[in-house]
């Protein structure tokens, strides 16, 4: 595919890196000559210095032949105009824009983005995406990651396996024998900085991060079997009252009315705005690194500390300080991938990488074939893919044991007529079934081919 990316910041760079690795023809536009030079030096992409909304710059970048434009600059209006120009002047088929201001996303203004007005096919809000990730972690605190698929019928759980994990050293094939009514499949294992697609005879080891596909309603039971079932956090302290903090606090008030939330915000203006926009949440003005303020927020009695300021270092230090003051669990927002490798040694239980969340959202629309959902894990080492099976798919009509799937691909669930079925050797995929598949990065293209419409179909 020929793809134009407007914005060479962290998100734009991450998307360009991933798409270029997969052999796409990628052009990147940014108003910073330094960022353009950096991305050209490090990636196999073309860089253009200028504004992504200007017709002459888009023309130089080859917009007349582009399949997609992804506008992820820091400015909503630039992203929106870039999509409009790409549509009106160059007829670019697919237009994706990062829209951060929630005013644009209110339901009664949605007609603004209709094709006859401002044609944006996909709007991405990092604040909402990250906020929803945090909400899922709060609801299932035993999982490192929780990602819904197939209209939330299925969940992908990333589970740390420590010495207390009951299923360590147990062959995966025995799990279905030990728990015959458990609709859960281990599809991937992150072990010693390497991603594995395990076979049925493989075992989970201490220190593994297991990726499990399960029926959503069995998520808690699945975590319990791995020794990770924990109660939902009821008392939460949030450091950072920006867009993510406000969205998160508002959603907790809506979905978890019995929870007690306190927010610490450095900016007095932002703190006042939050207080006006929330009903039950307590807002404290000051620094999340102020020990006395953390004590005032009740950190010693809190169940969870969520650090989501704009500063990675503040998020790290406030998480560590909260734990030292008695909070048993923490969650930090970390933009800098360089920090991810040593979070555990610092005492950070879990972190969220907003760039990874956004990239997964974009990949869902880049993937060819009947791909309905995509989630990228471990910085692109593998993907969890939801796809719809067609009559022409090589997966259809044969028992799984006869498919001879290549190494690196593992089926996690089959959804037939709205019912989630665990995969087994005798399972048969039928046309229009939804299939949840784990694929190592080098196998993603093969998965796409399995779900593409062939010429013979017509």
pLDDT at residue 339, rounded to an integer: 82
313 band by pLDDT with thresholds 50, 70 and 90? very high
pTM above 0.85, yes or no: no
For the stretch 35-93, pLDDT in tens is 999 999 999 999 999 999 999 999 999 999 999 999 999 999 999 999 999 999 999 99
pLDDT at residue 458, rounded to an integer: 27
The CATH homologous superfamily for domain 2-124 is NAD(P)-binding Rossmann-like Domain (3.40.50.720)
pLDDT value at 454 more than 60: no
For residue 47, give every residue at least 6 positions away whose Cβ sits within 8 Å of its Cβ, in sequence order, or none: 8, 27, 28, 29, 30, 36, 37, 39, 40
pLDDT at residue 250, rounded to an integer: 93
**For the chain, percent of residues with pLDDT exceeding 90:** 66
CA 174: distance to chain centroid?
31
pLDDT at residue 75, rounded to an integer: 93
CA distance 380 to 385: 13
The 3-class secondary structure across the chain, one letter per residue, is CEEEEECCCHHHHHHHHHHHHCCCEEEEEECCHHHHHHHHHHCCCEEEECCCCCHHHHHHCCHHHCCEEEECCCCHHHHHHHHHHHHHHHCCCEEEEECCCHHHHCHHHHHHHCCCCCCCCEEECHHHHHHHHHHHHHHCCCCCEEEEECCCCEEEEEEECCCCCCCCCCEHHHHHHHCCCCCEEEEEEEECCEEECCCCCCECCCCCEEEEEEEHHHHHHHHHHCCCCCCCCCEEEEECCCHHHHHHHHHHHHHCCCCEEEEEECCHHHHHHHHHHCCCCEEEECCCCCHHHHHHCCHHHCCEEEECCCCHHHHHHHHHHHHHCCCCCEEEECCCHHHHHHHHHHCCCEEECHHHHHHHHHHHHHCCCCEEEEEEECCCCEEEEEEECCCCCCCECCEHHHCCCCCCEEEEEEEECCEEECCCCCCEECCCCEEEEEEEHHHHHHHHHHCCCCHHHC
For the stretch 132-189, pLDDT in tens is 999 998 988 889 899 999 989 999 999 999 998 999 999 998 888 888 888 899 999 9
Gyration radius of the chain over CA positions: 23
| Diameter over CA atoms, the chain | 70
Residue 269 phi, psi dihedral angles, 5° rounding: -60, -45
Angle at the Cα of 10 from the Cα atoms of 157 and 238, rounded to 5 degrees: 55
The CATH homologous superfamily for domain 357-457 is Regulator of K+ conductance, C-terminal domain (3.30.70.1450)
pLDDT at residue 72, rounded to an integer: 94
Pick among 3.40.50.920, 3.40.50.300, 1.10.443.10, 3.30.70.1450: CATH of 130-220: 3.30.70.1450
pLDDT at residue 369, rounded to an integer: 60
Identify whether the C-beta of residue 49 lies closer than 8 Å to the C-beta of residue 36: yes
For the stretch 324-372, pLDDT in tens is 999 999 999 998 878 877 888 888 988 998 888 888 888 877 776 678 8
Query: Strands 235-239 and 260-265: what pairing?
Result: parallel
For the chain, the structural domain boundaries read 2-124, 130-220, 235-328, 357-457
**For the chain, percent of residues with pLDDT exceeding 70:** 98
Query: Which tokens belong to 362?
Result: 């974009």
pLDDT at residue 119, rounded to an integer: 86
Identify whether the C-beta of residue 164 lies closer than 8 Å to the C-beta of residue 227: yes
pLDDT at residue 91, rounded to an integer: 94
- Residue in 351, 284, 290 with CA at minimum distance from that of residue 325: 290
CA distance 179 to 162: 20
453 band by pLDDT with thresholds 50, 70 and 90? low
pLDDT value at 457 more than 50: no
- Whether 130-220 and 357-457 share one fold: the answer is yes
**Sign of the Cα pseudo-torsion (124, 130, 136, 140, in order):** positive
For the stretch 287-296, pLDDT in tens is 999 999 999 9
Residue 51 phi, psi dihedral angles, 5° rounding: -90, 130
The CATH architecture of the domain made up of 235-328 is 3-Layer(aba) Sandwich (3.40)
Query: 12 or 10: whose pLDDT is higher?
Result: 12
118 band by pLDDT with thresholds 50, 70 and 90? confident
Residue range 283-290: mean pLDDT, rounded: 96
Query: 230 or 57: whose pLDDT is higher?
Result: 57
For the stretch 373-412, pLDDT in tens is 889 898 889 999 999 998 888 899 999 999 888 899 999 9
- On average, the pLDDT of the chain sits at 90
């Amino acid at each position: 595919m020929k793809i134009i990316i407007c914005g060479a910041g962290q998100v734009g760079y991450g998307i360009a890196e991933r798409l270029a690795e997969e052999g796409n023809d990628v052009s990147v536009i940014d108003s910073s000559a330094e960022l353009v030079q950096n991305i050209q030096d490090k990636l196999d992409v073309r860089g253009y210095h200028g504004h992504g909304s200007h017709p002459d710059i888009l023309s130089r970048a080859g917009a007349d032949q582009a399949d997609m434009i992804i506008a992820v600059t820091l400015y909503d209006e630039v992203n929106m105009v870039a999509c409009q120009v790409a549509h009106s002047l160059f007829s670019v088929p697919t237009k994706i824009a990062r829209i951060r201001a929630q005013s644009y996303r209110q339901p009664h203004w949605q007609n603004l983005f209709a094709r006859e007005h401002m044609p944006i096919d996909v709007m991405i809000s990092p604040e909402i995406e990250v906020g929803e990730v945090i909400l899922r972690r709060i609801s299932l605190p035993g999982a490192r990651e929780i990602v819904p698929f197939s209209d939330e019928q299925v969940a992908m759980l990333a589970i740390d396996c420590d010495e207390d994990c009951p299923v360590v050293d147990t062959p995966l094939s025995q799990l279905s024998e030990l728990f015959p009514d458990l609709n859960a499949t281990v599809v991937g294992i992150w072990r010693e900085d390497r991603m594995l697609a395990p076979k049925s005879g493989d075992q989970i080891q201490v220190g593994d991060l297991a990726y499990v596909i399960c029926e959503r309603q069995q998520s808690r039971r699945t975590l319990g079997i791995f020794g990770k079932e924990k109660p939902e956090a009821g008392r939460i302290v949030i450091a950072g009252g920006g867009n993510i903090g406000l969205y998160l606090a508002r959603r907790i008030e809506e979905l978890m009315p019995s929870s007690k939330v306190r927010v610490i915000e450095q900016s007095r203006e932002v703190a006042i705005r939050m207080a006006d926009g929330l009903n039950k949440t307590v807002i404290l003005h000051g620094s999340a690194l102020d020990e006395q303020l953390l004590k005032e927020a009740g950190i010693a009695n809190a169940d969870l500390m969520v650090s989501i300021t704009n500063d990675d270092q503040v998020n790290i230090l406030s998480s560590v300080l909260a734990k030292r003051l008695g909070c048993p669990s923490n969650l930090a927002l970390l933009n800098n991938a360089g920090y991810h490798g040593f979070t555990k040694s610092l005492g950070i239980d879990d972190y969220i990488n907003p760039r990874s969340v956004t990239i997964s959202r974009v990949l869902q629309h880049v993937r060819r074939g009947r791909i309905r959902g995509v989630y990228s894990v471990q910085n692109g080492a593998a993907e969890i893919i939801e796809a719809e099976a067609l009559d022409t798919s090589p997966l259809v009509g044969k028992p799984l044991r006869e498919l001879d799937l290549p190494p690196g691909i593992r089926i996690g669930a089959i959804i037939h007529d709205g019912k989630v079925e665990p995969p087994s050797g005798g399972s048969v995929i039928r046309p229009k079934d939804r299939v949840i598949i784990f694929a190592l990065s080098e196998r993603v293209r093969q998965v796409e081919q399995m779900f593409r419409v062939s010429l013979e179909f017509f």
